[in-house]
Amino acid sequence: MPSVITAKEIEEVIAKGGDLKSLPADAILTPSAKDAIRDHANSRRSSASASTGSPAPAKPLNSKSPKSELDAYFNSTAARELKEQLCDIGRRLWQREYVDGNGGNIAIRVGEDIALCTPTLVSKGFMKPEDMCLVDFEGNQPCGAKKRTSEILMHMQIMKRQPKAVATCHCHPPYSTGFAVAGLVPPTCMIPEYEVFSSVAVAPYRTPGTPEMGQLVADLVDKHNTILMANHGVVSWSHNNLEDAYFKMEILEAYCRTVLVTAQLGKPAQTMTSGQLQDLLKIKASLGIPDPRHGLKECELCDNAEWRPGVACALPAKDTPTIGLDADAEAMVKVITDQLLAQMR
């Protein structure tokens, strides 16, 4: 009677370095055993093709390097790995609905003034390593069949101004972009992750892809790693790697959602104390993450004066004494005062 072979037994044969061809010819394979054999074959094939690529260049490249050297790097195993990272992060941006249509773009610094980046007119969820482009800080593109993203200048201007930036990520996550449309930096002192890993500012609106837009963003990257681009989206940079730049998006987007939920609960947010924030800023400084609040005194922290959640703030607290006016009139006065103040800003 033929024997039944499971995925576990296949994995054991592979782990021991055994030959799968030595399995009995009449054996019955379970569906997961067939999958395990297929995965094993695929991984052997991809490691074989990766080893045919050339290794990373011995000396760092830059925009003045000979075209032959740039081409060799662009087709190397090292570049291939980074191109796969760009595809992987693109997929994650698309799956989380942080990009729409052809929106969003990503770049990884690969030399003094050159970077690998995503192409234009391709959904970030469906990119292939062959789609990627090599560009310099001026936006010239020496390598890559597809045309680079039109927003690359902004990424390059960030890397130029912030030498620590090894990767940049731009997308349009809806909650964060809502804050960008309102021109609001999210209020602080609510969630530790946000305080430690993010440092957010708003750049004014300019036409996407113009040098002026990139300039306004670059002016902020000395002290901020996540920039809300007014009426557009968000761009982040990391001093670690591309995944870390992407994490900044997840952290900001989750935070903006949480802040909006908090604002709708009709109760003032319970914020952390300045002392508690100071502890988090110490961790942030030790991680090498910039923040304009490094070095500030405790009493200068946790200032959310700009933050006015419409619904929660428009309702007067229940036991607020009313002088001459009833609660509804009081609330109306507050709404109008807030609107006038907002217009005067």
List contacts with Zn ion (CB under 5 A).
233
Q: Between residues 154 and 289, which has the closer beta carbon with respect to Zn ion? A: 154
| Residue 200, H or E segment | strand 200-203
Quickly count: other Cβ atoms within 10 Å of residue 213's Cβ. 22
CA atoms within 13 A on the CB side of 260: 13
DSSP state of 234: E
Tokens for 157? 């201007």
Tokens for 29? 């394979």
Length of the chain: 345
Q: Between residues 119 and 233, which has the closer beta carbon with respect to Zn ion? A: 233
Q: List Cα–Cα distances, 114 to 48, 63, 89, 242, 307, in angstroms.
A: 29, 6, 20, 15, 39
- Nearest CA-CA partner of 175 in 158, 200, 152: 200
Quickly count: other Cβ atoms within 10 Å of residue 53's Cβ. 13
- Taking phi over 0 as left and psi of -120 to 50 as alpha, with beta for the rest, 302 belongs to left
Catalytic residue status for 151: yes
DSSP state of 181: H
Question: Which is the catalytic residue, given 11, 81, 151, 300?
Answer: 151
- DSSP string covering 83-123: HHHHHHHHHHHHHTT---TT--EEEEE-SSSEEEEPBSSS-
Which phi and psi (to 5°) does residue 237 adopt? -135, 155
Give the residue ranges of DSSP H helices in the chain.
7-15, 31-50, 67-74, 77-95, 152-161, 174-182, 192-197, 211-218, 242-263, 274-286, 310-314, 327-344
Integer Cα distance of 49 and 159 in angstroms:
32
- Residues noted as catalytic: 151
